[in-house]
């Protein structure tokens, strides 16, 4: 069982981003680390730190349940895309073995966000 993020454009041939729940948690933990905080310390992830204490354009992706479907709006995609591109570029440039984030899955998510922005459709979670 896992998680799939895809453009809500009705086109079944559109690219998607796929993770197991474990890998998605690791991905989001890595993103939070890049933003300077511990995801597991946050409310909703076992901790008691409020999301009001965190400033990140990635909040729509980070502060949400893994399951239960849902969407990311075009505005949220537009907000998140530049920072996600910046983080993934940093991960790609890091020496081998230094960073264990799922870079290929992250790149797939970047592509999904770009499609959603260009076609004015939300990202769907399944």
Cα–Cα distance measured from residue 15 to residue 27, given in angstroms and rounded to the nearest whole number: 19
Report residues of the chain scoring pLDDT below 50.
none
Strands (E), the chain: 2-7, 17-20, 71-72, 123-125
DSSP 45: T
Instruction: Provide the pLDDT for residue 69.
Output: 76
Q: Please state whether the predicted TM-score (pTM) of the whole model is above 0.85.
A: yes
Q: Say how many domains are in the chain.
A: 1
Q: Which domain holds residue 24?
A: 2-125
How is residue 122 annotated by DSSP?
P
Report the pLDDT value the prediction gives residue 65, as an integer from 0 to 100: 82
């Amino acid at each position: 069982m896992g998680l799939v993020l895809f453009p809500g454009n009705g086109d079944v041939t559109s690219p998607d981003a796929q993770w197991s729940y474990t890998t998605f948690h690791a991905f989001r933990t890595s993103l939070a680390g890049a933003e300077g905080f511990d995801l597991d310390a946050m409310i909703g992830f076992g901790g008691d730190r409020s999301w009001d204490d965190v400033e990140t354009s990635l909040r729509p992706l980070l502060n949400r349940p893994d399951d239960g479907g849902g969407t990311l709006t075009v505005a949220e995609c537009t907000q998140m895309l530049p920072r996600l591109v910046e983080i993934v570029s940093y991960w790609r440039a890091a020496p081998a073995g230094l960073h264990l984030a799922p870079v290929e899955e992250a790149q797939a998510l970047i592509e999904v966000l770009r499609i959603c922005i260009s076609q004015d459709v939300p990202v769907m979670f399944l």
